[in-house]
Amino acid sequence: MKQTALYIHIPFCKHKCIYCDFYSIITTDNIKPFLSALKKEIETYSKEFSKDRIITSIFFGGGTPSLMDADYLNEILNQINKFFTVADDVETTIETNPGTISFEKLKEFKNIGFNRISIGVQSFNEDELKFLTRIHSKDAAVKTVEDANNAGFKNISIDLIFNLPKQTKEIWINNLKQAVSLPITHLSAYSLILERGTILNKMVLDGKVTLHDSDYDAGLYSFTIDFLTGQGFKQYEVSNFCKDGFECRHNNAYWHYQDYLSFGTAAHSFVNGKRWWNFSSLKKYISEINNYGSAVRNYEVLTKEQKLNEYVMLSLRSSGLKKNEFREKFGGEWLKEKEGYFSKLIENNFAENNSQSIKLTKHGYAVCDEILKNLL
């Protein structure tokens, strides 16, 4: 059975933050028609992809999927279990935001089968939360994490953003200290990225917001690695840290270049070297599903060079490039060609090499984009 990850995109959101470029809509229209279309899409794809596959992770993202009632999400989970073979120990994650969920609802989510929760905290600093236009407070963020733990979630992840405008090192240190004082098992720490089309991007272009330079960003990132590893968190990807045994199985499917199926608006799938993606518009998605059973906007079949480039990028961003696996997939010529560059990286402590793999060090993670640019 081929291990496969499954992603569900729920587009509905309570509020659109200034930095977010994920497809989300602030409306209660078409919630029921979306559920019907989503269930139909799952059934359609099961006819082609359920045989000889086992679902090892299910991830509900968005939007804010936790805005939906437990019964609504349970219908989706039941549809997945009806049409796909799901592993007994499947990792089932739901994203949520503080200020949008109660303790009672968290217990309901746990009862219907979610065993991992990812909480979009972003910051524990009130001024930063206001700048990001988050609708929650520091206290609400702390309470959501504690409520999740008390509701029975033992695999709790939070997201934090560093290098925000006006963010001092002291503010960031306090964010990290607050995070590790809570019952979390996983933390994603992202440097602020400007995405085209977002309100924040326009604010920067208009000169209303000034960002820190890359050296300041690198300093915060380096401190983050040292602090979290010193607190018992292992870094297993550029932006992700976890307690022992709590790597995100779903994210690892992406980073280890495994197959994944995705359902819902704007969802991207990748199976057997082919990638395809759905229409973003909710109304268009529903219409396409009702008419054709799928809502594919476009697709691409990757060339060998594209597969190699993506494999290298994802491997070096995470647990390292496994040399034997690479040779099985692509042969040994590329590794020989890049041997000199890898030697320089190892010599300068940007990478480490053993018989099995080539892995970036924390210094290599800090300049990962530059390394990949030189390699690819």
Given the DSSP bridges, would you call strands 156-162 and 234-237 parallel, antiparallel or unpaired?
Answer: unpaired
Q: What is the pLDDT of residues 202-216, one digit of tens each?
A: 777 777 777 778 889
Last residue in a domain, options 255, 274, 302: 255
CATH of the domain at 194: 3.20.20.70
% helix / strand / coil in the chain, to the nearest 5? Answer: 45, 25, 30
Check: CB of residue 6 under 8 Å from CB of residue 60: no
In a domain, 312, yes or no: no
Residue bearing tokens 């799901």: 86
One domain for residues 211 and 344: no
In a domain, 235, yes or no: yes
| pLDDT-based confidence at residue 21 (cuts at 50, 70, 90) | low
pLDDT of residue 374: 95
Q: Are residues 219 and 345 in the same domain?
A: no
Copy the structure tokens of residue 67: 């805005």
Residue 54 resides in a domain: yes
242: tokens are 């976890």
> Are 212 and 110 in the same domain?
yes
Beta strands, E only, the chain = 2-10, 53-62, 86-96, 116-122, 156-162, 186-191, 234-237, 240-242, 260-264, 268-271, 274-278, 296-301, 321-322, 351-353, 357-360
Q: Is 116 in the same domain as 245? A: yes
> pTM for this one?
0.94
255-309, pLDDT tens digit by residue?
999 999 999 999 999 999 999 999 999 999 999 999 999 999 999 999 999 999 9
Residue 335 lies in a domain: yes
91 and 176 assigned to the same domain: yes
- How many residues does the structure list for the chain? 376
Q: Is 137 inside any structural domain?
A: yes
Among 255, 270, 288, residue at a domain's last position:
255
Give the residue among 14, 220, 10 at the shortest CA–CA distance from 97.
14
Residue 271 lies in a domain: no
Mean pLDDT for the stretch of residues 80-91: 98
DSSP letter (8 states) at residue 18: T
CB 184 within 8 A of CB 145: yes
Q: Does the residue 270 lie in any domain?
A: no
- What is the per-residue pLDDT for 214? 84
Classify residue 268: in a domain, yes or no.
no
pLDDT at 18: 63
Q: Quick one: 357 and 225 in the same domain?
A: no
For residues 42 and 80, the answer to whether their CB atoms sit within 8 Å is: yes
| Average pLDDT for 91-95 | 98
| 356 touches 322 (CB < 8 A) | yes
Domain count for the chain, please give it. Answer: 2
**Shared-domain flag, residues 117 and 214:** yes
pLDDT by residue (tens digit) across 149-190?
999 999 999 999 999 998 999 999 999 999 999 999 999 999
Domain that holds residue 140: 2-255
In a shared domain, residues 245 and 331: no
Q: Which of 221, 255, 289 is the last residue of a domain?
A: 255
